[in-house]
């Protein structure tokens, strides 16, 4: 692949290019940041670079025996630990650390990668990994990849060099979709705008796997009417697998409503979907600007709660109850 084929994350690229060139690679790294922003893609490319037999300034060559083995998932010196049914149990970690202790088979590094490190089932499972991080085998390096850094023990965090990955820029996602997926420019731009910095989310939207725009539009229209707010509970549960895509777009629609209510000159230029302007103006007549602002804040809290593997039932009910209460307060103040 090479560094040039990874979109965004230029600071991370420069950092690892420098430490590899200077021979200052640490024994353990923690890659953290929002889901689906390219952490796993980056760590796989890094594993290729560390074991490539003919590396260049752009990274791994992609054609040597080592690169081909890694691409096929059969490199003897690259060990991956992946959750099973959403959990990493102690037997997996023991096997992982046992393999890390082997001598290198090929030229390069012994690389261990823990994907979705937030899925450790218990503290004792993390402690099982701790010894390998504290006393790594010669020529080995461990990478932990997570979107929920708070779930890891302080002892793990303190012994890993942390590398934070931020959401990609809209233009970076647009260019990826156009160049790698041959998506027309307008369609790529629209998908990039609602992706919230995630290539994975942009592709899911494009592939129509989730119907997110229709669902987000339905949710926005329903929430703008206080009657029957709690009836949305079952809808949230039914769509729980797609909430990571639906809720950010729901937030964008709420912001469109806010702009329309404020009736600022030139606001059409900033609307995500100007075609829905008249409909949103009608639907949002009974809500106030402060309520819309507060709802956006409540939505951000809901997304944060869900990203931390919180109880979806409790988080959703709290969200809906808070919206209904805020609506009542706004109405009473208006009267």
What's the rounded Cα separation, in Å, for the pair 185 and 192? 10
For position 277, what pLDDT does the model report?
81
For position 226, what pLDDT does the model report?
60
Q: Strand, coil or helix: what is 114?
A: strand
Rounded mean pLDDT, 65-84? 94
For position 268, what pLDDT does the model report?
63
For position 74, what pLDDT does the model report?
93
Q: Higher confidence at residue 204 or residue 146?
A: 146
Residue 242 has pLDDT above 90, yes or no: no
What's the rounded Cα separation, in Å, for the pair 283 and 198? 30
| 180 φ/ψ angles, rounded to the nearest 5 degrees | -90, -30
The confidence band for 61, taking pLDDT boundaries of 50, 70 and 90, is very high
For position 192, what pLDDT does the model report?
84
The confidence band for 59, taking pLDDT boundaries of 50, 70 and 90, is very high
Residue 273 has pLDDT above 80, yes or no: no
Residue 220 has pLDDT above 90, yes or no: no
For position 39, what pLDDT does the model report?
94
- How far is CA 124 from each of CA 131, 161, 168, 305, rounded to the nearest angstrom? 12, 21, 35, 25
Note the Cα 70 to chain centre separation in Å. Answer: 24
Contacts of 9 (CB under 8 A, 6+ apart): 38, 42, 165, 168
**For 38-52, 61-75, 175-189, which range has the lowest pLDDT when averaged over its residues?**
175-189
Residue 51 has pLDDT above 90, yes or no: yes
Q: Are 188 and 158 in contact (CB under 8 A)?
A: no
Instruction: Determine the CATH number of domain 3-164.
Output: 3.40.50.300
The domains of the chain are located at 3-164, 169-208, 210-334
Residue 52 has pLDDT above 90, yes or no: yes
Residue 8 has pLDDT above 80, yes or no: yes
The confidence band for 129, taking pLDDT boundaries of 50, 70 and 90, is very high
Residue 331 has pLDDT above 70, yes or no: no
Nearest to 256 by CA among 244, 268, 243: 268
Rounded mean pLDDT, 247-253? 84
Residue 181 has pLDDT above 60, yes or no: yes
For position 211, what pLDDT does the model report?
72
Q: Could you tell me if residue 263 is left (phi over 0), alpha (psi between -120 and 50 degrees) or otherwise beta?
A: left
Q: Higher confidence at residue 165 or residue 217?
A: 165
Residue 266 has pLDDT above 60, yes or no: no
Residue 327 has pLDDT above 80, yes or no: no
Q: What percent of the chain has pLDDT over 70?
A: 92
For position 85, what pLDDT does the model report?
83
Residue 275 has pLDDT above 60, yes or no: yes
The confidence band for 4, taking pLDDT boundaries of 50, 70 and 90, is confident
Instruction: Determine the CATH number of domain 210-334.
Output: 1.20.272.10
Which DSSP symbol is given to 331? H
For position 335, what pLDDT does the model report?
42
């Amino acid at each position: 692949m090479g560094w040039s084929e990874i979109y965004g994350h230029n600071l991370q690229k420069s950092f690892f290019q420098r430490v590899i060139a200077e021979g200052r690679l640490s024994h353990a790294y923690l890659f953290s940041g929002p889901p689906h922003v390219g952490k796993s893609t980056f760590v796989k490319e890094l594993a290729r670079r560390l074991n490539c037999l003919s590396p260049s300034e752009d990274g791994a060559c992609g054609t040597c025996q080592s690169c081909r083995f890694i691409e096929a998932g059969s490199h003897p010196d690259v060990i991956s630990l992946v959750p099973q049914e959403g959990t990493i149990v102690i037997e997996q970690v023991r096997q992982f650390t046992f393999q890390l202790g082997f001598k290198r088979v090929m030229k390069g590094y012994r690389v261990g990668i823990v994907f979705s490190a937030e899925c450790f089932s218990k503290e004792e499972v993390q402690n099982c990994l701790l010894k390998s991080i504290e006393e790594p085998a010669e020529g080995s390096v461990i990478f932990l990849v997570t979107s929920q850094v708070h779930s890891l023990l302080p002892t793990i965090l303190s012994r890993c060099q942390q590398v934070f990955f931020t959401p990609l820029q809209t233009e970076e996602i647009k260019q990826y979709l156009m160049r790698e997926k041959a998506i027309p420019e307008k369609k790529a731009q629209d998908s990039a705008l609602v992706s919230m910095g995630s290539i994975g989310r942009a592709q899911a939207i494009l592939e129509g796997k989730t119907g997110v725009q229709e669902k987000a539009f339905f949710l926005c229209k329903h929430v703008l009417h206080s009657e029957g707010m709690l009836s949305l509970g079952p809808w949230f549960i039914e769509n729980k697998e797609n909430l990571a895509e639906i809720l950010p777009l729901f937030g964008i629609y709420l912001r469109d409503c806010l702009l329309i209510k404020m009736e600022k000159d030139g606001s059409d230029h900033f609307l995500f979907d100007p075609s829905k302007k008249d409909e949103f103006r009608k639907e949002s007549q009974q809500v106030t600007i402060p309520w819309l602002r507060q709802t956006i804040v409540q939505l951000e809290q809901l997304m944060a709660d869900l990203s931390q593997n919180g109880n979806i039932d409790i988080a959703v009910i709290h969200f809906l109850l808070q919206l209904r209460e805020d609506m009542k307060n706004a109405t009473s103040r208006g009267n």
